[in-house]
């Protein structure tokens, strides 16, 4: 048996198409474009790439992109003043402060300063609280993207046993909450879990989000399980090559012989993250204007 490959790239393209259509409708009804402000502090190369790709995707979806760059030595006061201005700017629907921040800045205090209704990353403690009690808020983009892939593949998740490997605030915890809300039976596993392979073996759904290359082996998996691999790890380069290859947290080739369906790395969860960010921004725009959010978002 060879697992079905879950094509996150194709699903993300469909979502972006829907966002583009609904963004045009929003502009017609509101008289302005939905707007996403991205704040970059410092010159981290990876962060610069991410910010650039988010800006291009925002414009491609028919929304306004506002990029704000501060020097690496910017003070907390400067950054908080910028966030405050963006909170009160009616042309800005979503605010994203690119992480990680330089070491002298406290990430949690900066995130807490963003209006929860413009927190399209879903990192604000109020949005985390809304998720935990079943209220409408913003969910971090990666787990929400994973959930879209799962429901597209499996439909109703009621009664299925799900294991989430990883307990971060960005992926693991919100992922578990989303699965619980979908009536799955959920276990959060982590580095201290006893008999981790045995725990994972029970699961109909496995979400791996630990940042350890190819940690999850084929023998850990229940035959036919659906595997969502959130990890993106670069292996050391092989002799004669400049860059090592990208792999996930799951040993893809061997896992594909056991799983029923699996996301590849790259091309699985990764493309979903920016697509969901665009979706969250447009949802924020509709809400900010007091308009009903389209059902296809």
Domain segments of the chain as ranges: 30-116, 141-270
Q: Which of 27-36, 161-170, 219-228, 238-247 has the lowest mean pLDDT?
A: 238-247
What mean pLDDT comes out for the span 44-51?
A: 91
User: What pLDDT sits at residue 191?
Assistant: 86
pTM attached to this predicted model: 0.95
Asked whether 36 and 62 are in contact (CB, 8 A), the reply is no
- Tell me: pLDDT of 1 over 90: no
Asked whether 165 and 216 are in contact (CB, 8 A), the reply is yes
Enzyme catalytic residues: 54, 98, 121
What mean pLDDT comes out for the span 12-18?
A: 98
Domain spanning 30-116, CATH architecture: 3-Layer(aba) Sandwich (3.40)
- Tell me: pLDDT of 269 over 80: yes
At 39, is the pLDDT very low, low, confident or very high (cuts 50, 70, 90)?
very high
- Are 30-116 and 141-270 in the same CATH fold? yes
What mean pLDDT comes out for the span 200-219?
A: 97
At 244, is the pLDDT very low, low, confident or very high (cuts 50, 70, 90)?
confident
Extended beta strands in 74-221, E state: 94-97, 161-165, 185-189, 205-208
Domain spanning 141-270, CATH architecture: 3-Layer(aba) Sandwich (3.40)
């Amino acid at each position: 048996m060879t697992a079905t490959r879950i094509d996150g790239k194709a699903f993300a393209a469909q979502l972006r198409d829907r966002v583009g259509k609904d963004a045009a409708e929003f502009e017609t009804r509101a008289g302005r474009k939905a707007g996403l402000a991205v704040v970059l502090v410092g010159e981290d190369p990876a962060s610069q790439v991410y910010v650039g790709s988010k800006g291009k995707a925002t414009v491609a979806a028919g929304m306004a992109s506002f990029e704000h760059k501060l020097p690496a030595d910017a003070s907390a006061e400067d950054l908080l003043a910028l966030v405050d201005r963006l909170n009160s700017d009616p042309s800005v629907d979503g605010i994203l402060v690119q992480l990680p921040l330089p070491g002298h800045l406290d990430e949690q205090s900066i995130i807490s300063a963003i209006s929860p209704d413009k927190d399209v990353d879903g990192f604000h403690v109020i949005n985390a609280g809304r998720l935990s009690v079943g209220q409408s808020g913003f969910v971090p983009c990666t787990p929400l993207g994973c959930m879209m892939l799962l429901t597209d593949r499996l439909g109703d998740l009621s009664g299925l046993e799900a294991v989430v490997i990883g307990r971060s605030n960005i992926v693991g915890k919100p992922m578990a909450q989303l699965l619980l809300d979908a009536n799955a039976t959920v276990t959060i596993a982590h580095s201290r879990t006893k008999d981790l392979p045995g725990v994972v073996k029970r699961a109909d759904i496995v979400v791996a989000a630990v940042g350890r290359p190819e940690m999850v082996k084929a023998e850990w998996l229940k035959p036919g399980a659906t595997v969502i691999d959130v990890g993106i790890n670069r292996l050391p380069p092989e002799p004669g090559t400049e860059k090592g290859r990208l792999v996930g947290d799951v040993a893809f080739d061997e896992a594909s012989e056991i799983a029923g369906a699996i996301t590849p790395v790259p091309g699985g969860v990764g493309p979903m993250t920016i697509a969901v960010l665009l979706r969250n921004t447009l949802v924020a725009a509709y809400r900010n204007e007091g308009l009903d959010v389209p059902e296809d978002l």
